[in-house]
């Protein structure tokens, strides 16, 4: 509890991991809906899959970059303690 109150324990990485999972669940139907609206009359499935193939790794990179920032902070505090 002391680590939490002194901000030595960061909860944001847990939040980012949770947002990543929910984002992946939400991202797939959104990609299909965007493909249906943008490419009506053409092969929506192909464009939906293309959006998913591009957006899923981009979302992963965004979440990983947030986690990296917090890992740098944790490692810096460990170095400071030594």
**Domain contains 1:** no
Per-residue pLDDT tens for 10-69?
788 889 999 999 998 998 888 777 777 776 666 666 777 777 788 889 999 999 999 998
**Domain contains 4:** no
pTM: 0.68
**Domain contains 43:** yes
Count: domains in the chain: 1
Q: Containing domain of residue 33, as a range? A: 17-81
**Domain contains 38:** yes
**Domain contains 2:** no
**Domain contains 12:** no
**Domain contains 72:** yes
**Domain contains 5:** no
DSSP 22-72: HHHHHHHHHHHHHHHHHTTTS-HHHHHHHHHHHHHHHHHHHHHHHHHHHHH
């Amino acid at each position: 509890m002391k680590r939490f109150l002194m901000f030595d324990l960061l909860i944001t990485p847990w939040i980012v991991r949770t947002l990543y999972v929910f984002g992946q669940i939400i991202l797939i139907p959104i990609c299909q809906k965007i493909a249906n609206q943008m490419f009506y009359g053409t092969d929506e499935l192909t464009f939906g899959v293309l959006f998913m193939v591009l957006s899923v790794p981009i979302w992963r990179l965004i979440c990983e970059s947030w986690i990296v920032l917090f890992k740098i902070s944790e490692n810096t505090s460990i170095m400071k303690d030594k």
